[in-house]
Chains A and B, each alone.
Chain A
Amino acid sequence: MSGVWRLFGVWPMPQQITQSTDRYLLSPQSFSFSYSKDSAAQSGCSVLDSAFKRYYSLIFPDAADGARKTEFSINTLVAAGAAALKAQSVWGALRGRVYSLIYSLHCIYYFVNKTEIQDFPRFEFRGLLLDTSRHYLPLNAILKTLDAMAYSKFNVFHWHIVDDPSFPYQSYSYPDLSSKGAFHPMTHIYTQSDVKRVISHARMRGIRVIPEFDTPGHTQSWGKGQPNLLTPCYKGDVPSGTFGPVNPILDSTYQFMSGLFKEMKSVFPDSYVHLGGDEVNFACWKSNPNVRAFMTKMGFGHDYTKLESYYIENIVNISSALNKTPIVWQDVFDYRERIPKDTVLEIWKGVPADYRTELAKITHAGYRVLLSAPWYINHISYGQDWRNSYTVQPQNFSGTDQQKALVIGGEVCMWGEYVDATNLHPRLWPRACAAAERLWSNEEMTSNVDQAFPRLEKFRCSLIRRGIQAEPLFVGYCKDEYRGV
C-alpha cells in the first residue's frame, strides 16, 4: 500500500500521504471541480476558476474528444462520489494537486486512488532565477517556465531582468535604458504589457515575481541609456573611455535610482525587491580622481568596501522608503554593510563547507537567508547531476533552532551565459525538480536519492505530457514522448 503513490510520480513528496489500493474511475464527462459549500472562496475567484479549467485539461488531455466517447462514460467517482480539498487560501488550493495521482489506462479511462493528503511546504521561499540579460528569453519561454514551476510547487520567480550585457526591461520613466541598452530596441525587450502578463500568469499559479535590479556592479548596459550613471574609468589623468560600476558619489545617481525604484514599486506588486550588490570591481573606482577625492572627504581611506557600503545603504534606504523589503547577494553582508534587519541575504558562493559557514554567520547576525549556492544548475556536467541538488541540506549548519528558522528557503539559478530559448527548458527540467522537492518536502521522508529516482522519472514523463520539454534522467522512455523539435 505504502508504495502505490510512488508509481504515479507525485513530486514533490507531500508531507503526509495515505493511500489505499481502492481506486475510483473518473470520467471527463462527469468529473468536475467545485467550490465546497463552506468554502470562503466561491465561483468568481479568478485564481481558482482558471486553475480548475487548467487542471481539468491536464487531467483529461483528450477531453476535447470527450463528446465522441460518451459510450464509454461511466458515472462519477465509483465509490466516494466526491473528493475534497481544503486549504486556507487560494494559494494552498493551487498546491493541492489531486490530479497527479490520477493515471490513465487505454487512453480514456482515468483512475484515482483513495487518498488522503495533508500538505504544507517546508520552506516559504522556493525560487527559480532566470537571467534575461545574457540572453533574451522570449515571453513564451518565461510563461512556459512559470507553468513548469507550478507543477513542481515553486513559488517565486526571481527575474534577473537586467545585467551587463543587455537591459531588456522597457522603463516608462527612462525609456533610453532599453532603447540603447537592449540587444535590440524593438525585438529584444520586455514591454510594460509583457511584464504585466508575466506577473499575472505567475499570480494565477501562486508564484511571486521578484525582479532584480542589480547595482552597483553588473550595470554596463545601464550606462548606454543613462549618461553619467556609471563611473568613468581613468588611465592616469585621463578618462579611458570605459566605465565601471554605478558612480556612487553623485547626487544624480541617487535621484535616478529613486525614480527607477518608484517605477518598480508601481510595476511589481511583490513587497520584496532584489537589489543585487554582488561582485563589485573596485579597479575603476580606484582609477577615478573624483572618487578618490570623495573617499578622502568621507574618511573611507583606501577601503573601497566602505564606498560600496555607502552606496548600498543609500539604495536600501530608497527601497525601504518605498516599503519594499530588500533581498541582496551575500557580498553585501560580507562587507559588513549596515543594512536593515529585515533584509534577506542570498548565499551564492562556494562548496558546502563555505555556504554552511556563511549560513551560520548570517543567521547568527539575525538576518534571514536564502540558499542558492548548491543550485547553480546552469553549470552542467555529464550524468545525473540532479542527485547533487537533491542531497543538499539547507539547515545542516551549526546554529540554534532560531538560526535555522531564519533559513526561509532557496533558489535554483539558471544563469544565461550559455542558455537561451533553444535549450532553456531541457536544461531546467527535471533538474530543477530536485531542489523543488528539497524545499517543499520533509527532509527525512525524502533523504534517499535512489528512492526518489523512479518517482522523478515518472514525474518528468508527466511534465512531457503537459508539454514541458523535460530531458531524460537516464536510459528509458515515456509513454508519450516529446514530439516537438
Chain B
Amino acid sequence: MIKKRRQSRAPNRQLTVLRCCCTVTEMAALRLLNFWAMLVTLSVCNGWLFENFGSYRNREADEVALWPLPQKIQISGAAFQLSSAGFQITHANGSTAGPSCSLLQNAFRRYFDYIFGNARKQGKNQQKVFDSELQELQVLLTAKDPECDGYPNLKTDESYQLEVDQPTSVLKAANVWGALRGLETFSQLVYEDDYGAHKINKTSISDFPRFAHRGILLDTSRHYLPLKAILTNLEAMAMNKFNVFHWHIVDDHSFPFLSRTFPDLSQRKGAFHPYTHVYTPSDVKMVIEFARMRGIRVVAEFDTPGHTQSWGKGQPDLLTPCFSGSSPTGTFGPVNPILNSTYDFMTRFFKEVSTVFPDAYIHLGGDEVDFSCWKSNPDIQKFMDQQGFGQDYKKLESYYIQRLLDIVSATNKGYMVWQEVFDNGVKLKGDTVVEVWMNNNVDGELQKVTGSGFTTILSAPWYLDYISYGQDWQKYYKVEPLSFQGTAEQKKLVIGGEACLWGEYVDGTNLTPRLWPRASAVGERLWSDENVKDINSAYNRLAKHRCRMVQRGIPAEPLYIGFCPHEYGGL
C-alpha cells in the first residue's frame, strides 16, 4: 500500500456556520493598527530610534510593507521621487563586480521591472530632475570574489546594508547573494503616491537572515508540476527571501526525473507519461540556473528505501518482492537491501545525481519505511539471520542507509535526511542535516538531535498542504523554532526550516495560491529577528505584500476581505 508522509490528524473540525464571517469593525480594527504600531514595536525591540519622528508621514509609511522585516531599519519622513526615465541601478565604483556579472545584470533588470511595472515609459531623461530625485542605486560588492558565477551554499553570507539617499543610494554587500536580498528590499521600499509617482523614503537598513536554511518543499511525484509552475514559485520564493528549493522530485507515485544513466526509470512507466510528465536534463538545468539567479539552492531529494514504488517500474530487481506464505505476491516493497546489485545501481545513480545537482547537499529521504514486505520475504529473513539482526528490522534499515551514506559520501556530497534516520541510530557524518517533520514531539526531537551535535531544520509545524478555513498563516507565523529546552550551542545547530507543500491535492492548478502568501509567514519567521512577532503588524504588512506579489504576477490568495489596487488578471 502507498503510504504518505503524514502524521495522523484529528477529523476535520466542525465549522461554525456563519453565512458571513465578516465584521466590519474587525477589519477596521486591523487597519487601525497601522505601520506606526509596527515601527514603535520595532524601535523598542531593537533599540533603534527614528529620525524625523515627528515629520514622519503615516500614510506613506503604510505603503511600505517590508516583508520579511529587516533586522535593523530607520525610515525617515523625507521622500524622494524616482522615475523610470531618470533612475538606474548600477555597479558602484570600487565594487568587485561589474557589467560582466550577468547574475547581477539580470537582477538589476528584474527589479527595475518590479519597481516600475507597466508604468515604464519609453525614452530617456525627458523629464526635468527634481531636487529630491533619486537617480541611482549603486551596488557595491566588497568580497574579493563576489561569486557572480557561483552557487549559494549553507555558509553563504546574505547580509547587506542599504542607504537610501538622494541623489544616490548605496547597497553594500559582500557578494551577489547579499545584493539580491538587498535589491528585493529596495524594491519593496518604493511606493506610489496619490498621483502615481514612484517614491522612496530616506532609509537606512542593515539586514541579515536569522537562519541560514529557509526552504520550500515542492512534491513533483504525487502530481507533476509543469516547469512554469516551478519557476513561478522560485520567483515568489525570492520575493520572500527563501533560499532553498527542496525538490522532492520522485516518490511512490511517479518518477519524472529523466536520468541519463537509467532512462528507463522515467521512460518505462515510472513517470505518469514518458514525454509530457518528465523533467529532462535541460529542464533540470533550467530550474537550477533560474534558482541560482535568485540566490536559491536546489536540494534534490531521492528518497529511499521506502517511497520508491515508481522506481521499480524501470529498474527490475531493485524493490523487494513481497511474499504471501512461500510464494511471491507480485507486489513490491521498499528497496531490496540485501542485493549487491542494489548498491551497484545506487552508486551509479547517485554519481549522476551528484553531477546534475551542484548543491553540496543531497536529500536522501529515509522516512516511513514499511517493514511488512521485508518481513514476508524469506531471502530477507535469511539475511537478517546471517547478519545477526534478529527480528529488528530497524537494523536492516540502518544497514541499508549506512551503505547508501557511504556511497553518497564518496561523491563528496553532504546529505540531508528525515528524522527517522537519526531516530533509528544510523551512524551519520558530522555535517548531516536532520529534518524534523513529525509533529508529535518537536521540542523533544530538536533537543535530541542537537544534543547529539547534529544540525537540524524544522518542517513539522509548516506542512502547508494541510489546509483549513480561515487565516491559518497566523499559526505558521507564531511558531518559534528555538523554543525548545537546550543550550545556546544546541540552538545554534537549528539552521532553519522548510515549508512543505506535499502533492496529494496539489498540482499546477492550485499550487501557487495555496502556497502564497501562507509560506510568506514562514519566510518572515526564518529571516527576521525573533522579536518580530506582532500579529497585527504582520497582517498589515502581509496584506500589502500579497498585493505586491499579485502585481508581480504571482496569484497569491487573499488573507481576508479587502482588495488590491491591481487585482490578479491572469486567468
Q: Is the CB of B22 within 8 A of A382?
A: no
Q: Is the CB of A380 within 8 A of B468?
A: yes
Q: Is the CB of B277 within 8 A of A485?
A: no
Which residues of A lie under 8 Å from residue B19 when comparing CB positions?
Answer: 278-279, 329, 348-349, 415
A433-448 vs B, CB cutoff 8 Å, 1 = contact: the mask equals 0000000000000000
Q: Is the CB of B224 within 8 A of A481?
A: yes
Q: Is the CB of B567 within 8 A of A475?
A: no
The one of A220, A417, A477, A483 that contacts B273, using a Cβ cutoff of 8 Å: A477
Which residues of A lie under 8 Å from residue B507 when comparing CB positions?
Answer: 471-472, 477, 481-482
Which residues of A lie under 8 Å from residue B27 when comparing CB positions?
Answer: 165
Q: Is the CB of B277 within 8 A of A477?
A: yes
**A163 vs B509: C-alpha distance in the bound complex, in angstroms?**
29
Residue A141, interface by CB 8 Å:
yes
Which residues of A lie under 8 Å from residue B229 when comparing CB positions?
Answer: 485
Nearest-CB residue, chain B, relative to A477: B272
Q: Is the interface of B mostly helix, strand, loop or mixed?
A: loop
A372-390 vs B, CB cutoff 8 Å, 1 = contact: the mask equals 0100101111110100000
Residue B488, interface by CB 8 Å:
no
Residue A167, interface by CB 8 Å:
no
Q: Is the CB of B509 within 8 A of A416?
A: no
Nearest-CB residue, chain A, relative to B229: A485
**A378 vs B17: C-alpha distance in the bound complex, in angstroms?**
11
Residue A299, interface by CB 8 Å:
no
**A472 vs B273: C-alpha distance in the bound complex, in angstroms?**
17
The one of B14, B224, B556 that contacts A351, using a Cβ cutoff of 8 Å: B14
**A382 vs B470: C-alpha distance in the bound complex, in angstroms?**
13
Residue A188, interface by CB 8 Å:
yes
Residue A316, interface by CB 8 Å:
no
- Are A422 and B17 CB-contacts (below 8 A) given A141-B571, A477-B224, A479-B276? no
Q: At the interface with chain A, which of B34-42, B436-444, B557-565?
A: B557-565
**A379 vs B15: C-alpha distance in the bound complex, in angstroms?**
8
Residue A333, interface by CB 8 Å:
no
- Are A135 and B561 CB-contacts (below 8 A) given A140-B569, A475-B222, A477-B273? yes
Which residues of A lie under 8 Å from residue B224 when comparing CB positions?
Answer: 477, 481
Which residues of B lie under 8 Å from residue A477 when comparing CB positions?
Answer: 223-224, 254, 272-273, 277, 507
Size bin of chain A's contact surface: 35 or more
B442-473 vs A, CB cutoff 8 Å, 1 = contact: the mask equals 00000000000000000000000111111000
Which residues of B lie under 8 Å from residue A89 when comparing CB positions?
Answer: none
| A295, chain B: closest CB distance, angstroms | 25
Nearest-CB residue, chain A, relative to B556: A422
| B29, chain A: closest CB distance, angstroms | 13
- Are A349 and B17 CB-contacts (below 8 A) given A470-B509, A483-B508? yes
Q: At the interface with chain A, which of B182-190, B199-207, B372-380, B498-506?
A: B498-506
Which residues of A lie under 8 Å from residue B222 when comparing CB positions?
Answer: 475
**A144 vs B568: C-alpha distance in the bound complex, in angstroms?**
14
Nearest-CB residue, chain A, relative to B4: A475
| A479, chain B: closest CB distance, angstroms | 7
Residue B21, interface by CB 8 Å:
yes
| A461, chain B: closest CB distance, angstroms | 11
Q: Is the CB of B17 within 8 A of A417?
A: no
Nearest-CB residue, chain B, relative to A131: B20
**A208 vs B553: C-alpha distance in the bound complex, in angstroms?**
33
Residue A419, interface by CB 8 Å:
yes
Q: Is the CB of B12 within 8 A of A381?
A: yes
| B232, chain A: closest CB distance, angstroms | 5
Q: Is the CB of A469 within 8 A of B504?
A: no
Which residues of A lie under 8 Å from residue B509 when comparing CB positions?
Answer: 425-426, 464, 469-472, 482
The one of A164, A349, A382, A422 that contacts B12, using a Cβ cutoff of 8 Å: A382
Which residues of B lie under 8 Å from residue A350 when comparing CB positions?
Answer: 17
Q: Is the CB of B21 within 8 A of A422?
A: no
Q: Is the CB of A383 within 8 A of B505?
A: yes
Q: Is the CB of A135 within 8 A of B17?
A: no
Which residues of B lie under 8 Å from residue A373 when comparing CB positions?
Answer: 17
**A419 vs B469: C-alpha distance in the bound complex, in angstroms?**
11
Residue B390, interface by CB 8 Å:
no
The one of A140, A183, A485 that contacts B553, using a Cβ cutoff of 8 Å: A485
Q: Is the CB of A471 within 8 A of B22?
A: no
- Are A472 and B223 CB-contacts (below 8 A) given A382-B466, A421-B569, A423-B513? yes
**A419 vs B514: C-alpha distance in the bound complex, in angstroms?**
11
Nearest-CB residue, chain B, relative to A422: B555
Residue B155, interface by CB 8 Å:
no
Which residues of A lie under 8 Å from residue B469 when comparing CB positions?
Answer: 378-381, 418
**A279 vs B565: C-alpha distance in the bound complex, in angstroms?**
30
Q: Is the CB of A418 within 8 A of B24?
A: no
Residue A476, interface by CB 8 Å:
yes
Which residues of B lie under 8 Å from residue A329 when comparing CB positions?
Answer: 19
**A455 vs B507: C-alpha distance in the bound complex, in angstroms?**
19
| B62, chain A: closest CB distance, angstroms | 17
Q: Which of A449-480 contact B (CB under 8 A)?
A: 464, 469-477, 479
Residue A134, interface by CB 8 Å:
yes
Q: Which of B369-424 contact A (CB under 8 A)?
A: none
Which residues of A lie under 8 Å from residue B2 when comparing CB positions?
Answer: 475
Residue A136, interface by CB 8 Å:
yes
Residue A3, interface by CB 8 Å:
no
**A165 vs B254: C-alpha distance in the bound complex, in angstroms?**
45
Which residues of A lie under 8 Å from residue B514 when comparing CB positions?
Answer: 423, 426
Residue A368, interface by CB 8 Å:
no
Residue A166, interface by CB 8 Å:
yes
- Are A420 and B228 CB-contacts (below 8 A) given A188-B563, A476-B223? no
Residue B327, interface by CB 8 Å:
no
- Are A417 and B571 CB-contacts (below 8 A) given A136-B563, A470-B509, A475-B503? no
| B275, chain A: closest CB distance, angstroms | 11
- Are A472 and B505 CB-contacts (below 8 A) given A136-B563, A138-B569, A382-B466? yes
Residue B71, interface by CB 8 Å:
no
- Are A381 and B468 CB-contacts (below 8 A) given A218-B20, A376-B17, A475-B222? yes
Which residues of B lie under 8 Å from residue A481 when comparing CB positions?
Answer: 224, 226, 276-277, 507-508
Residue A302, interface by CB 8 Å:
no
**A380 vs B17: C-alpha distance in the bound complex, in angstroms?**
12
| A171, chain B: closest CB distance, angstroms | 20
B130-164 vs A, CB cutoff 8 Å, 1 = contact: the mask equals 00000000000000000000000000000000000
Residue B123, interface by CB 8 Å:
no
Q: Is the CB of B467 within 8 A of A474?
A: no
| A19, chain B: closest CB distance, angstroms | 27
Q: Is the CB of A479 within 8 A of B273?
A: yes
Which residues of A lie under 8 Å from residue B513 when comparing CB positions?
Answer: 422-423, 426
Residue A484, interface by CB 8 Å:
yes
Q: Is the CB of B508 within 8 A of A484?
A: yes
Most chain A CB atoms below 10 A, which of B14, B17, B470: B17
Q: Is the CB of A418 within 8 A of B563?
A: no
Most chain B CB atoms below 10 A, which of A220, A422, A483, A484: A422
Q: Is the CB of B568 within 8 A of A422?
A: yes
| A130, chain B: closest CB distance, angstroms | 14
Residue A184, interface by CB 8 Å:
yes
**A415 vs B465: C-alpha distance in the bound complex, in angstroms?**
22
Q: Can you give 18 contacting A-B residue pairs, CB < 8 Å?
A: A134-B561, A135-B561, A165-B27, A218-B20, A348-B19, A381-B13, A382-B467, A416-B561, A421-B568, A423-B513, A426-B514, A427-B510, A477-B254, A479-B276, A485-B229, A485-B232, A485-B512, A485-B553
6 A-B pairs closest in CB distance: A426-B510, A423-B513, A422-B555, A183-B563, A477-B272, A423-B557
Extra pairs beyond A164-B20, A382-B505, A475-B504 (7, CB < 8 Å): A379-B15, A382-B468, A418-B469, A422-B513, A469-B571, A472-B506, A485-B554
| Residues on B facing A (Cβ under 8 Å) | 2, 9, 12-15, 17, 19-22, 24, 27, 222-224, 226, 228-229, 232, 253-254, 272-273, 276-277, 465-470, 503-510, 512-514, 550, 553-563, 565, 567-571
